[in-house]
């Protein structure tokens, strides 16, 4: 069974640009959640999609958005990038019950210059 | 929503010692408590989890204990080895949420 795949692995952008990150979940998983990880801040929850609908949302500004396609693949978009958006962005997939293991991707390391 | 606090933020031990990481949570309806290990440059991976109908669970050198009355759960690693060096995250879902809230992580350093 293939694991969770995130692309690209690394991204370098400049302030003001926008970026799109992609996440392909494990086959059969309907829930995809996104996290921002920065040193000392742990895993900050961005949002979760389940069956193409945003089911949960964290406390991030509207510049952060996402979507999920019918095949459960998900994309995350960040518009008008700021220096503080530099982070490792992780996605995780699961069956979506909330009481089960999350499978994480390797993440996308975003650097904003 | 759920509030999860994790302590300590850094833990340094000698190889062979035991390590204990503790988390507290706020939502009494939480019923699932996983622990994830993230080695440097790698993705977080589940190492052990416990459900609210169980007080303790063991898997070789790793154990998790749960005290629902006090709303805390702990990760115990015995006979630590250098390969145990990593960041460990606890998590707990809110009763009405499908998403776990993570603690801030504990950086465990095992000195040979």
Q: Which residues in chain B are closer than 8 Å to A96, comparing Cβ atoms?
A: 98
- Cis before residue A8, ω within 30 degrees of 0? yes
pLDDT value for A77: 98
Say if residue A84's pLDDT is above 80: yes
Evaluate if residue B95 carries a pLDDT over 70: no
Q: What is the DSSP pairing of strand B10-14 with strand B32-38?
A: unpaired
Q: Is the pLDDT of residue B101 over 80?
A: yes
Cross-chain residue pair B43–A105, CB shorter than 8 Å: yes
Contact A42 B104 (CB under 8 A): yes
- The Cα B69–Cα B31 span in angstroms is 12
Which stretch, A41-45, A93-97, B21-25, B51-55, has highest mean pLDDT? B21-25
B residues 28..47 contacting A (CB < 8 A): 31-32, 34, 36, 42-46
Q: For the residues B26-42, what does the mean pLDDT come to? A: 92
Cβ neighbors of A67 (< 8 A, separation 6 or more) are: A49, A52, A74, A75, A77
Question: Does residue B97 surpass a pLDDT of 80?
Answer: no
Q: For a pLDDT cut of 90, what percent of chain B falls above it?
A: 79
> Quick one: average pLDDT of B88-104?
84
Assess A107–B contact: CB distance below 8 Å, yes or no: yes
Chain A environment of B105 (Cβ under 8 Å): 42-43
**What confidence category does residue B28 fall into, taking pLDDT thresholds of 50, 70 and 90?**
confident
Residue A72 pLDDT class (50, 70, 90 cuts): very high
- Out of A99, A106, A107, the one facing B31 most closely (by C-beta) is A99
DSSP string computed for A44-97: EEEEEEETTEEEEE-S--TTEEEEE-TTS-EEEEE-S--GGG-EEEEEEEE-SS
More confident residue, B58 or B101: B58
Residue B16 has pLDDT above 90, yes or no: yes
Please report the pLDDT score of residue B13 as a whole number: 98
Residue B79 pLDDT grade (very low, low, confident, very high; cuts 50, 70, 90): very high
Which one, of B109, B110, B105, lies nearest residue B5 by Cα? B105
């Amino acid at each position: 069974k293939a694991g969770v795949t995130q692309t690209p692995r690394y991204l370098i952008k400049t302030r003001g640009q926008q970026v799109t990150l992609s996440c392909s979940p494990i086959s059969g998983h309907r829930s995809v959640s996104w996290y921002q990880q920065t040193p000392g801040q742990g895993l900050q929850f961005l949002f979760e999609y389940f069956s193409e609908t945003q089911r949960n949302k964290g406390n991030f500004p509207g510049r952060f958005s996402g979507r999920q396609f019918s095949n459960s693949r998900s994309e995350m978009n960040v518009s008008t990038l700021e220096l503080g958006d530099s982070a490792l962005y992780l996605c995780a997939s699961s069956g979506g019950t909330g009481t089960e293991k999350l499978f994480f991707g390797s993440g996308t390391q975003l650097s904003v210059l | 929503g759920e509030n999860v606090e994790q302590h300590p933020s850094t833990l340094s031990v000698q190889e062979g010692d035991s390590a204990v990481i503790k988390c507290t949570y706020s939502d009494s309806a939480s019923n699932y408590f996983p622990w994830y290990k993230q080695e440097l440059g790698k993705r977080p991976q589940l190492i052990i989890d416990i459900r609210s109908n169980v007080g303790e669970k063991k898997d070789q050198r790793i154990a998790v204990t749960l005290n629902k009355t006090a709303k805390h759960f702990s990760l115990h690693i015995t006979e630590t080895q250098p390969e145990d060096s990593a960041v460990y995250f606890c998590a707990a879902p809110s009763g009405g949420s499908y998403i776990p809230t993570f603690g801030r992580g504990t950086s465990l350093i095992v000195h040979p």
